[in-house]
């Protein structure tokens, strides 16, 4: 007679055998993924297969260009490259990376958003050799890209071209001319050599507010999100920094209670009064929709809104001009969100992965990627800003020429200069937009709001 115990043991043996077979199959990869012509001839590493988990680009065709670049490299080097395009909708890209980091298994190369290098740095392979080679060929990388990816002197990831962006102003040429007598194109022409310094210097937060008031009266308010998503957090961070407000410095000193913070909050309160309706609940599509609808006069965003307007409302697109952020008392700052390629330290094919990362970020491939995204993707190397794409896309011709910083704009990110593990909390818990909403919408006193922020900052420091 077969006892229940025997039956369970038998079932266990079958299950273990099944799992063993599965693991063996999985290690070898599916039959279709095996290199056919050269199963074990590799010039770049120890194995013949590389897997990538990268962001699913919103621009049609951009994924195809990245696939082509990777496949060309794979064919040349006899490596079978498999790419999974992972959407950022519902933060699926972040969840996938977190799951892989916890499970210590997954893709060889994973694309990460700005703050995720800080999060996963303990399980990311140092990439100094890749960075050194790129810097040698193409010059320095943006300071914000370095700030977000370099820990204890080691680069933990390489800034990717795909997905990296800044969020300058995108304004309506016609509305600014008609209602404010401001010629945006004259201030920021599609040639930095033709810029008039006095005009550029005059484009500051005060002028931005006075024009915003005029546009509000005319029925075309600016559209500045004030919710708790990235677009809101980014432009507000640039505003605070241009007023010189620092929340926590690099040595963990809490400095939020300052005259600079008060000045920024007072300014923001006035600006919110002439902002579009509903901005406290806008997600990252809110400002895009506002501009595309024809009701909005200016937003702060990559050229995605313009690109969609080109398709959905061409008359609006013809009047859009991307240009520098307003200047504040302490400078002009553009919100920068570099994305990265990381190689897991537990990966099995690290040398090949590093070579592929280098290939993807190298200038010829970057040029193709920028073209495929109609100029949306912004590399972290200033020497790449000479790509034709930003000169040639239209309408109007030169509309995104000033998307890469051409003048005195410094790149910035909300939370800087606090240590990234602290700054990520300032950023992701949207403390600055909540402060403005408390003052402008909730009617709370600035002193009370700063006290609240101070308490939040103390909490951010504790959990490091």
Partner 1 sequence: MSETIPRRLVTPTPAETSGALKGSLYRLSRRRSTTAFLFALPLLSVVGGLIVYPALYAIYLSLLNRTQTKFIGFGNYAFLFTRDTFWAVVEQSCIFALTAVILKALVGIVTAHLVNNLPAKGQRKWRGMLLIPWVIPLSLSTLGWFWLLDPTYSAFNWLFAQIAGPRIPWLSEPNWARFCTILVNVWYGAPFFLIMYLAALKSVPEQLYEAAAIDGASAWQKFLHITLPMMRNVIAITVLFSLIVTFANYDIVRVLTSGGPRNTTHIFATWAFQLGIASGDIPLGASVSLFMFPILGVSAIFILRGVRRRGREV
Q: Contact residues for partner 1 (CB under 8 A)?
A: 1-4, 7, 90-91, 94-95, 98, 102, 115-116, 118-120, 122, 226-229, 276-283, 286, 289-290, 293, 421, 424-425, 428-430, 434, 437-438, 441-442, 452, 455-456, 459, 462-464
Which is closer to partner 1, CB of 127 or CB of 436? 436
Whole-angstrom Cα distance, residue 308 to residue 173? 17
Give CA 217 to chain center in angstroms. Answer: 33
Q: How far is the CB of 91 from partner 1 (least distance, A)?
A: 7
Q: State the nearest-atom distance from the C-beta of 333 to partner 1, in Å.
A: 23
- Complex with partner 1: residue 190 or 446, whichever CB lies closer: 446
Length of the chain equals: 464
Closest CA to 300 of 167, 175, 399: 167
Report how far residue 73's alpha carbon sits from residue 362's, in angstroms, rounded to the nearest whole number.
12
Decide whether 233 or 334 has the Cβ nearer to partner 1. Answer: 233
144's tokens: 């914000």
- Name which of 91 and 191 has its Cβ closer to partner 1: 91
- Nearest alpha-carbon partner for 391 in 191, 230, 217: 191
Residues facing 52 on adjacent strands: 83, 109
Q: In terms of CB distance, is 73 or 151 closer to partner 1?
A: 151
- Write the DSSP symbol of residue 84: E
Plot region of 104 (φ>0 → left; ψ -120 to 50 → alpha; else → beta): left
Question: From the CB of 18, what's the least distance to partner 1, in Å?
Answer: 13
Distance CA 114, CA 3 (A): 58
Least distance to partner 1, CB of residue 421, Å? 7
Give whichever of 192 and 444 is closer to partner 1, judged by the CB atom. Answer: 444
Query: Least distance (Å) from partner 1 to the CB of residue 434?
Result: 5
Q: Are 413 and 427 in contact (CB under 8 A)?
A: yes
For the chain, state the CA radius of gyration: 25
Supply the DSSP symbol for 97.
H
Smallest distance from partner 1 to CB 118, Å: 6
Between 97 and 127, CB nearer to partner 1: 97
CB of 419 to partner 1, least distance (A): 12
Nearer to partner 1, 49 or 438 (CB): 438
In angstroms, give the least distance from the CB of 307 to partner 1. 20
Here the tokens at position 320 are 């859009």
Cβ at position 308, least distance to partner 1 in Å: 15
Which tokens hold the place of 254? 């809490």
Element (H, E) at 159: strand 158-159
Closest distance to partner 1 from the beta carbon of 23 (Å): 16
Compare residues 326 and 342 and give the one whose CB is closer to partner 1: 342
Q: Quote the CA–CA distance of 85 and 6 in Å, as a whole number.
A: 46
Comparing CB distances to partner 1, the nearer of 178 and 428 is: 428
Find the DSSP H helices in 218-299. Answer: 230-242, 259-272, 286-292
Closest listed residue to residue 124, CA positions, set 144, 135, 108: 108
DSSP string, 310-369: HHH-HHHHTTEEEEPPPEETTEEEEEEE--EEEEBTT-S-HHHHHHHHHHHHSHHHHHHH
């Amino acid at each position: 007679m077969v006892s229940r115990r025997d039956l369970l043991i038998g079932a266990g043996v079958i299950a273990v055998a099944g799992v063993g077979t599965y693991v063996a199959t999985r290690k070898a990869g599916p039959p279709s993924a095996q290199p056919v012509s050269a199963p074990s001839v590799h010039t770049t590493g120890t194995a013949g297969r590389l897997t990538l988990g990268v962001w699913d680009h919103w621009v049609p065709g951009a994924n195809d260009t990245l696939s082509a670049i990777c496949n060309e490299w794979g064919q040349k080097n006899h490596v079978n490259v498999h790419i999974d395009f992972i959407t950022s909708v519902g933060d699926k890209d972040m969840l996938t990376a977190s799951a892989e980091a916890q499970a210590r298994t997954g893709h060889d190369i994973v694309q990460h958003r700005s703050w995720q290098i800080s999060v996963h740095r303990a399980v990311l392979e140092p990439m100094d050799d890749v960075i050194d080679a790129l810097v040698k060929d193409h010059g320095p990388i943006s300071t914000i890209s370095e700030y977000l990816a370099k820990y204890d002197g080691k680069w933990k990831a390489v800034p990717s071209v795909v997905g990296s962006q800044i969020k300058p102003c995108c304004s309506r040429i016609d509305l600014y001319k008609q209602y404010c007598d401001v010629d945006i194109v004259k201030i920021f022409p599609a040639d930095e050599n033709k810029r008039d310094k006095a005009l550029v210097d005059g484009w500051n937060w005060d002028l931005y507010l006075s024009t915003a008031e005029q546009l509000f009266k005319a029925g075309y308010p600016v559209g500045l999100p004030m919710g708790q998503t990235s677009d809101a957090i980014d432009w507000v961070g640039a505003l605070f920094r241009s007023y010189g407000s620092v929340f926590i410095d690099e040595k963990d000193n809490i400095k939020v209670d300052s005259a600079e913070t008060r000045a920024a909050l007072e300014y923001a309160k006035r600006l919110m009064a002439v902002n579009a309706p509903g901005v406290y609940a806008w997600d990252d599509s809110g400002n895009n929709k506002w501009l595309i609808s024809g009701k909005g006069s200016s937003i702060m965003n990559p050229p995605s809104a313009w690109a969609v307007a080109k398709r959905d409302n061409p008359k609006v697109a013809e009047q859009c001009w991307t240009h520098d952020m307003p200047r504040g008392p302490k400078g002009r700052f553009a919100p920068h969100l570099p994305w990265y390629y990381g190689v897991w330290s537990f990966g099995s094919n690290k040398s090949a992965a590093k070579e592929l990362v280098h290939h993807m970020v190298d200038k010829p491939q970057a040029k193709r990627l920028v073209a495929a995204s109609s100029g949306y993707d912004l590399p972290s190397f200033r020497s790449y800003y000479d790509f034709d794409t930003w000169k040639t896309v239209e309408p109007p011709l030169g509309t995104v020429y000033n998307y890469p910083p051409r003048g005195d704009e410094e790149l910035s990110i909300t939370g800087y200069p606090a240590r990234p593990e602290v700054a990520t909390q300032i950023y992701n818990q949207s403390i600055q937009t909540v402060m403005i909403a408390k003052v402008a919408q909730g009617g709370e006193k600035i002193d009370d709001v700063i006290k609240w922020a101070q308490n939040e900052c103390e909490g951010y420091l504790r959990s490091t």
